[in-house]
């Protein structure tokens, strides 16, 4: 896990998630903007997955449990996909809110993942 990249992810997932929640609550259906934000969050998660697999080869090992880390990462990767499908099938304001809730959930999971990787001594 690359630390600065994780912070970059959080810097996108949190404002993106809040934006989706707000736009959804004011009644917007899913748009390119909100779908795009969610897609970007998803894309960065996949980059993070590749980074997590590659990092130990470069001597950047997780300090905590890898099992726990990957459970979070895989769950996080599934979320935006599910929310995105939902938004495509059901084009209502609530789908936009759900996109936002998903991005925020991913942010929480990323934060936990960074704790497991960087902070948690085993």
Partner 1 sequence: MIKSQTDVPVPSSRVSGIGRLLIAIYGVLALAATGRSFVQIVRAFDDAPLAYALSALAAVVYIVATVALIQRSALWYRIAWITISFELAGVLVVGTLSLVDPALFQHATVWSIYGSGYVFIPLVLPLLGMWWLLRHPVAPAQSRA
> What minimum distance in Å lies between the beta carbon of 31 and partner 1?
14
* Contact assessment for residue 87 and residue 35, using Cβ atoms and an 8 Å cutoff: yes
Binding residues (CB under 8 A) for partner 1: these are 27, 65, 67-68, 71-72, 75, 78-79, 82-83, 86, 90, 92-95, 97-98, 101-102, 105, 108
Cβ distance to partner 1 smaller for residue 4 or 46:
46
Contact partners, residue 118, CB within 8 Å, separation at least 6:
1, 3, 63
CA distances from 88 to 19, 65, 95 (A): 18, 36, 9
> What minimum distance in Å lies between the beta carbon of 5 and partner 1?
22
């Amino acid at each position: 896990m690359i630390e600065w990249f994780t912070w970059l992810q959080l810097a996108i997932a949190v404002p993106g998630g809040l934006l989706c929640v707000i736009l959804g609550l004011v009644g917007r259906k899913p748009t390119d903007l909100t779908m795009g934000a969610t897609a970007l969050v998803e894309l960065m998660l996949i980059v993070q997955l590749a980074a997590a697999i590659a990092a130990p080869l470069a001597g950047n090992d997780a300090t905590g449990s890898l099992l726990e880390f990957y459970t979070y990462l895989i769950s996080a990767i599934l979320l935006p996909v599910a929310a995105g499908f939902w938004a495509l099938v059901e084009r209502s304001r609530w789908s936009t809110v759900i996109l936002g809730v998903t991005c925020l959930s991913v942010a929480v999971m990323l934060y936990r993942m960074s704790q497991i990787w960087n902070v948690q001594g085993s």
